Amino acid sequence: MSELSGMNCLVTGGAGFVGSHLVDALVAEGHQVSVFDNLSTGKRYNIMRHGTKVEFIQGDIRDMSALAQACQGKDIVFHKAAIASVAESVRDPQSTYEVNILGTGNVFEAAGAAKVKHLVFASSAAVYGPMEYPECHEDTPLQPASQYGLSKLVGEQYGRFYAGFHNMQVTCLRYFNIYGARQSPSSDYAGVISLFIHNLLANKNLIVFGDGNQTRDFVNVADVVQANLKALANTGQYPFEILNIGSGQKRSLLALIEALRDLGFQRFDVEHRPDRRGDLRHSSSNINKAKKLLGFCPAVAFKDGLAEVVDYIRLQKESSMGSLQAGEPFVNDPDKACNA
Ligand SMILES: NC(=O)c1ccc[n+]([C@@H]2O[C@H](COP(=O)([O-])OP(=O)(O)OC[C@H]3O[C@@H](n4cnc5c(N)ncnc54)[C@H](O)[C@@H]3O)[C@@H](O)[C@H]2O)c1
């Protein structure tokens, strides 16, 4: 257990992909955990294994009074709740603004008013926009190319403001493309990884938007959890910081497809479709600041992380064919196509 075990933690979006992995780790480290989630994309079964150890509050971050109540007595808030989709933000900007901007403002306000010590905000590499540099540093000029990226940039500005206004420590973690078990294949991010694997296991071809030479920085969800735990361990150490959280390595979609072939998937074709609006061409992180300040160190090798997702999805499929395991229903939407 860490020195700061026994912290009272609130995880907004804790029933989602990233949030639920974080909840697992916080419980394992001996913290008290409450989850605040409206279950729009999150699932109760993602956190059910913890039973009554984790308090579940079904609520919406647009509801200020519910948030104010949820923040009472908390030491730290991990704010993960969001409409986490570039494509959705282009299709329906208003909903993205309501949740990711108004809702995020509510989270900062409620946490500050409840005298929460530290708020860790899930920002995104989408704040950088089209890359004109070989890799993004935290001080690289920001020019979001989607309403989603813009909404995350506003979230960071809330962070900068509230760190001073409420004297609350704020850490903004700019995640790159996270992948791992429990990720919905319809996610816009490394959802491309779970989507591809779903399709390959269903003997379907892969759809790639554009030529496939676009690059992404795929970071395993276990490493993202590590960054959040390191931020928690640094509670009280600085007032406000923005940190890139990625693997520090870039891979093209074609390289991802090759890595899947190396895992034994051989019999499929790749179908190319036109680029999608809002999608970035390249994305690559410089993570030196997080390494230095937090001691962050990505530990999961890409091929191991990929093999783990294959095993997870294969197991889901098998249990859906036999008796479904409680808590892990099989989700399949292989016709949905997305790139990171
Ligand atoms: N997955 C990635 O690669 C990635 C990359 C960059 C940033 N992020 C950010 O990380 C966070 C987590 O992303 P994820 O991939 O786990 O997405 P996710 O969709 O799995 O999780 C988001 C969670 O927020 C909940 N939620 C949505 N709207 C809500 C609302 N109005 N009130 C309360 N709860 C609400 C959902 O039900 C879900 O459980 C998001 O803030 C996302 O923008 C993710």
Q: Do the beta carbons of residue 300 and residue 149 sit within 8 Å?
A: no
How confident is the model at residue 126, as a pLDDT? 93
Residue type, 183: Q
How confident is the model at residue 331, as a pLDDT? 38
Told to judge if 148 belongs to the known catalytic residues of this protein, a careful annotator would answer yes
Rounded CA gap, 286 and 76, in Å?
A: 27
Tell me how far the alpha carbon of residue 266 lies from the centroid of ligand 1, in angstroms.
33
Residue of 23, 36, 41 to mutate, ligand 1, most atoms within 8 A of C-beta? 41
Closest by Cα among 282, 64, 20 to 177: 282
22 close to ligand 1 (CB < 6 Angstrom): no
How confident is the model at residue 186, as a pLDDT? 65
Mean pLDDT of the chain: 90
Task: Give every residue of the chain whose pLDDT is below 70, as ranges.
Answer: 1-5, 186-190, 278, 321-340
Tell me how far the alpha carbon of residue 81 lies from the centroid of ligand 1, in angstroms.
5
How confident is the model at residue 64, as a pLDDT? 98
178 close to ligand 1 (CB < 6 Angstrom): yes
How confident is the model at residue 180, as a pLDDT? 95
Tell me how far the alpha carbon of residue 151 lies from the centroid of ligand 1, in angstroms.
13
Backbone phi, then psi, for 224, in 5-degree steps?
-65, -40
Q: Do the beta carbons of residue 51 and residue 94 sit within 8 Å?
A: no
Structure tokens at 314: 């294969």
Rounded CA gap, 276 and 295, in Å?
A: 36
CATH code of 8-176+218-245, in short, is: 3.40.50.720
Rounded CA gap, 68 and 81, in Å?
A: 15
193 close to ligand 1 (CB < 6 Angstrom): no
Tell me how far the alpha carbon of residue 267 lies from the centroid of ligand 1, in angstroms.
34
Q: Do the beta carbons of residue 191 and residue 336 sit within 8 Å?
A: no
Residue of 34, 48, 175, 182 to mutate, ligand 1, most atoms within 8 A of C-beta? 175
CATH code of 182-216+250-283+301-340, in short, is: 3.90.25.10
Give the residue extent of every domain in the chain.
8-176+218-245, 182-216+250-283+301-340
191 close to ligand 1 (CB < 6 Angstrom): no
Backbone phi, then psi, for 262, in 5-degree steps?
-60, -25
How confident is the model at residue 337, as a pLDDT? 32
40 close to ligand 1 (CB < 6 Angstrom): yes
How confident is the model at residue 321, as a pLDDT? 63
pLDDT tens-place string over residues 106-144: 999 999 999 999 999 999 999 999 877 778 999 999 999
How confident is the model at residue 189, as a pLDDT? 54
Candidate list 148, 158, 175, 189, residue with the active-site label? 148
Tell me how far the alpha carbon of residue 251 lies from the centroid of ligand 1, in angstroms.
23
Q: Give the other-Cβ count within 10 Å of 141's Cβ.
A: 9
Tell me how far the alpha carbon of residue 16 lies from the centroid of ligand 1, in angstroms.
6
Residues β-bridged to residue 3: none
122 close to ligand 1 (CB < 6 Angstrom): yes
42 close to ligand 1 (CB < 6 Angstrom): yes
Atom 12 of ligand 1, residue of closest alpha carbon: 80
- Report the Cα–Cα distance between both ends of the chain, in Å, rounded: 35
In this structure, are strands 251-252 and 215-216 parallel, antiparallel, or unpaired?
antiparallel
Coil, helix or strand at residue 240: strand
